[in-house]
Amino acid sequence: MSILDEYVFERMDYIPAIGLINLIADNKDDYIDNIASYLVLNNFDKQVSSYLIDKHGRVTQVERSQENGCDTNTSCFLDRCHSEIILSKSVSNKLIDTLKGYFYYSCKELESIDCIKKLGLKLNFLEVSRVNDKVKQYDENEINLIYRNTVDNFHNPNAYQLNYFRLKKLDIKVAACLLAGIDDQMIDKYQSDLRFSEIFKDYISYKLMLEAAIKNNDVSFKEGFFTSDDLQKYLFDIGYVLKGFNDWLRIQPAKPLIDVKHDKCQSFDVNNEELVRLTQKAADDQATIDKITIEKDEIQSELIEVKAQLEKTLQLQAIDDLKDVPHQSYRTVDRIMYAMAKLSKLDNTEPYSQNNPSLNASITTILQNDGLTLEYQAVGKWLTRINNVKSLTNNPIITPEKLKATEDLKSNI
């Protein structure tokens, strides 16, 4: 027990502003900018009070703005959450300086606000701590990004491949890792990561190729394993030659010579009939060789088609794996372009003339000078999308300034 226990328990009635936003995001699985818009639309900043807690644990309520009756800390915090955090479902504690989030909310006050009650949250210190631990873990994962060197050719095998060369039997995963030049433990570690299909696309391609070969009985596969000899021959036949693994197959073993001994004095009588027979046999042998050559070329063409089909299948699979990733949507492009335009302080509202060209004309000129020609109408269309970006979101973004302007307009009617 400590003489400060009473004050510690009292402090647990308050949660940090970032903690509240992360708690909502975790509970509703939504983006931070959408949550900020939801709270602004429901006048959260006009109903809530913010508190400061010093190093001793003293709690001080922050006075509300005399101008518009809102909590200034909350208004600024929500605006920054919306403008600084794009396409993220958590707020990192590393952004506390950027977001100006050095304040707290009272759990009891939050429970009395309608827009918070509708969300059905567990508003307590322990629940916020649980979510905060998840955010910390996510931040650590973001720092430790997946990184690997791809194998450019098979003439210089890496350490992983050299280890696989020693194996007598290989399953499909290990065989695909042998071709991709990666540690098979990386597959188990990162298979659930959203970036797996992109970073390990070569491994996926090799695995699909081997599965197709097994299905078509092109290679022996017994009890879930290839033998090293069978895998070497199969890979060599389809053009995958790895130095130190199956490159020895390029040296074709010589056929044994038939040792025929003849007596020095022996004479041979070759009549015309025998000569015709030998000539015909030579012609038949040549025809067989030509037929085998044609069949070999046809098989090679089929292998090329199969490889192209596998690559197409891989592309479709990668697209399917990423169908839920938001970075493919127009909404993402619109918002990123809007943020970039805002960061660079672009302005298309001033009158333009010969000495002051429009933003559309300026962009078109820059692209043309850099060899990236784009039609004037196309640039105008995207500038329009940037201007309309706020109306494209599911939850329209209304800032406190716009709310005030709307109320003033209503009062004048």
What confidence tier does 351 reach under pLDDT thresholds 50, 70, 90?
A: low
How far apart (Å, rounded) are the C-alpha atoms in residues 73 and 96? 13
pTM equals 0.37
Higher pLDDT, 261 or 82: 82
Question: Which tens digits make up the pLDDT trace of 197-230?
Answer: 878 888 999 999 999 999 999 999 999 999 999 9
Residue 59, classed as helix, strand or coil, is strand
For 375-403, give the DSSP string: -HHHHHHHHHHHHTHHHHSSS----HHHH
Question: Which tens digits make up the pLDDT trace of 141-177?
Answer: 554 445 556 666 677 888 889 999 999 999 999 999 9
Question: Which tens digits make up the pLDDT trace of 44-84?
Answer: 999 999 999 888 888 889 888 767 889 999 999 999 998 88
Side by side, the strands of the sheet bearing 104-106 are 14-16, 104-106, 51-53, 59-61
What is the separation, in whole angstroms, between the first and last Cα of the chain? 64
